[in-house]
Amino acid sequence: MHHANHFYGHADVMAAYAGYKERPFIWGYLQHGWNILDGFAFGTAFAPGMPKFVWSDSVRRRGHAMGLRNYSVIGSVWLYLLKVYPELASMTDDAEGTIFYPFHGWEGQNVLGDHGRIVASIKEHETGPVTVCLYWNEYENPAIRKVYTKAGFRVITHGYRGLHWRKTDAKFLAKQLAELRKHKRVASNRLSSAVLYGASIGMQPGVYGDPMVLENEHPSFGGQARIKRLWPEMDQPFVPLDVAREFTDTELGVKHLAHPAEIREMFLWNKP
């Protein structure tokens, strides 16, 4: 079904959780990242009657307020990943330093901002070793990589999320989990999926620095102003762990995880 279901290897994770060696198509739309609107990218053309599988009840409520229906709240794919790879679900004993995720663009929109200002913010707040994880399109820009390597940071990418069913790295999330658990802190210049993922495995989260601007960002999402207004407690360099876990558990949908048999039923994977 919809190609975004396969972003970051999400369909593969759900298939593994449900007991499949090969990835069937998901009958419906699967939320692929933390979302402050209806759970999906702006302009997603929903086929009438098709189910929408989202992380949290807050997403479902916002979707309903917009006139959308056929929601099922199942929790985030990340939480299912932790079930598939339980040996990776906690930090290593030698975890150290911070992994920082600069806000990124994608194939259709670039990020506008000064990476040098991000470096300055990182140096202001971090004392241990720093890994900077860039999305693939920023990573492939030598000038951007150089800004961070010149600052003495280790620079990596988790891979390519995929687009239109092509070049998807099915191990993207597993790679991200393996990297996160090597660090004690996770931070970004915007509240994002990566910050939630890190907090979910006990990392100290932080949000600080120039949030940058997404080229031609649609105003329906409300931008950074809306995020700061709704969740001011998450907009600080060192978010208290109890505050972070309460927010993360709600937004990732910890209470809504489904059994493998339920996933098979909802995704129509039981059909011959």
Q: Does domain 87-240 have CATH number 3.30.1480?
A: no
Looking at residue 163, what DSSP letter applies? Answer: B
54, two tokens: 């989202």
pLDDT, tens only, 177-200: 999 999 999 999 999 999 999 999
Please say if the pLDDT value at position 172 is more than 90. yes
The answer to whether 133 and 101 are in contact (CB under 8 A) is yes
What mean pLDDT comes out for the span 232-249? Answer: 97
Residue 245: the pLDDT is 96
Cα separation of 184 and 265, whole Å? 38
163, two tokens: 């687009």
pLDDT, tens only, 29-87: 999 999 999 999 888 989 999 999 999 999 999 999 999 999 999 999 999 999 999 88
Q: Domain extents for the chain? A: 3-86+253-266, 87-240
63, two tokens: 């979707």
pLDDT, tens only, 139-154: 999 999 999 999 999 9
pLDDT, tens only, 89-98: 766 778 999 9
Nearest to 234 by CA among 224, 247, 221: 247
Cα separation of 125 and 237, whole Å? 7
The pLDDT confidence band at residue 219, using thresholds 50, 70 and 90, is low
